[in-house]
Structure 1
Amino acid sequence: MKFHGLIHQFPREIKLLIIAFICTLSIGFYSGISFVRSTTNANPNGIEQRYLGNEDDENATEMMFKKSEGEIMTTVHSHILSLSAIFFLVAFILSTTSINIKLKLFLMIEPFFSLVFTFGGIYLLWKDIHFMKYVIMASGFLMTATYSVSIFIILKQAISKK
């Protein structure tokens, strides 16, 4: 079955369903990103303090404690499961677009790698492998960027009259 360019042949109601789904999903996704930004200050040290605490920092304005193993495992488990389902659905819809095949394949597969690096990185950071805070930040940025590009392409092609 050929999926490439299929989005242009979808009936209006399926395109509206896709648009509604992508918009609603994006509200949830970007509100999660906003939460991450507010709890980590969007920097490597903030990421480290979020999971390892800052009890030793005399200049800290807010006291944070190291997450328990249960908290870390819950965070990793729930985010990997839910985000992998989200990325699968977005990739499936993206597969119906008419963009360059290599770009499409990259946008479909990359978020899964970033997901493992981001949340695997959080676990390894919690295990005191401190350089993982940079891996978490880079992979989280790449995950968000690929999601953003994917939804832009989907929305553009679902709205267009091609």
Structure 2
Amino acid sequence: MQFQGLIHQFPKEIRYLIVAFLVTLSIGFYGGISFVRTTTDANPTGIEERYLGNEADEEATKMKFKKSEGEILTTVHSHILSLSVIFFMVSLLLATTSVNQKLKLFLMIEPFFSLVFTFGGIYFLWKEIHWMKYVIMFSGMLMTLTYTASVLIILLQLFRSKKA
């Protein structure tokens, strides 16, 4: 079955539905990113403090405690499940666009790797493997960039005129 360029043939109502879905999904996605930025200060030290606490830091202005095993497992479990569904749905929509096949394949598959590295990294950071904070930061940024690129491509393709 041919998916390349299929998005241009979708009826107007389906295209509007996809736009509404992507806008709503992105509000939630970027709301989560905003929460991460607020709770970690978007830096490796903040990431480490978020999960391991800062009780030893006498100069800390706000006391943070190490997350419990239940909190870590819940965070990892819920984020991997929900984000994998989100990335799968976005990838299905991206598959119907008429962009370069290699770029499309990268954007469809990469978020799943970043998802495992980000939330697997959080678990291993919690297990006191401190250098994982850099893996978490890099993979989280890559996951956000690929999501953003995918959504922008889909939206641009939805507004392009239909192919003959």
Structure 1 unaligned spans of 5+: none
Residue aligning to 1:159: 159
Residue aligning to 1:46: 46
Residue aligning to 1:7: 7
Quote the offset at 1:9 in angstroms.
0.5
Identity %: 75
Residue aligning to 2:99: 99
Q: Considering only aligned residues, what root-mean-square deviation do their CA atoms show, in Å?
A: 0.5
Counterpart amino acid of 1:55?
E
Quote the offset at 1:8 in angstroms.
0.4
User: Partners of 2:25 and 2:161 in 1: how far apart?
Assistant: 23
Quote the offset at 1:89 in angstroms.
0.1
Structure 2 unaligned spans of 5+: none
Residue aligning to 2:57: 57
User: Partners of 1:138 and 1:12 in 2: how far apart?
Assistant: 38
User: Partners of 1:42 and 1:58 in 2: how far apart?
Assistant: 21
* SS of equivalent residue, structure 2 residue 99: coil
Aligned pairs for 1:74-93 within 5 A = 74-93=74-93
* SS of equivalent residue, structure 2 residue 60: coil
User: Partners of 1:60 and 1:153 in 2: how far apart?
Assistant: 43
Quote the offset at 1:30 in angstroms.
0.1
Counterpart amino acid of 1:119?
F
Quote the offset at 1:60 in angstroms.
0.6
Q: TM-score, normalised by structure 1?
A: 0.99
Residue aligning to 1:127: 127
4+ runs deviating over 6 angstroms: none
Quote the offset at 1:160 in angstroms.
1.5
Q: Please list the CA deviations of residues 17-39 of structure 1 after superposition, one character each: whole Å capped at 9, or x if unmatched.
A: 11000000000000000000000
Quote the offset at 1:149 in angstroms.
0.2
Quote the offset at 1:3 in angstroms.
0.4
User: Partners of 1:13 and 1:2 in 2: how far apart?
Assistant: 22
Residue aligning to 1:19: 19
Q: Please list the CA deviations of residues 36-92 of structure 1 after superposition, one character each: whole Å capped at 9, or x if unmatched.
A: 000000000000000000000011110000000000000000000000000000000
Quote the offset at 1:105 in angstroms.
0.1
Counterpart amino acid of 2:40?
T
User: Partners of 1:156 and 1:123 in 2: how far apart?
Assistant: 37
User: Partners of 1:68 and 1:111 in 2: how far apart?
Assistant: 27
Quote the offset at 1:159 in angstroms.
1.4
How many residue pairs are counted as aligned between the two chains? Answer: 162
Counterpart amino acid of 2:70?
G
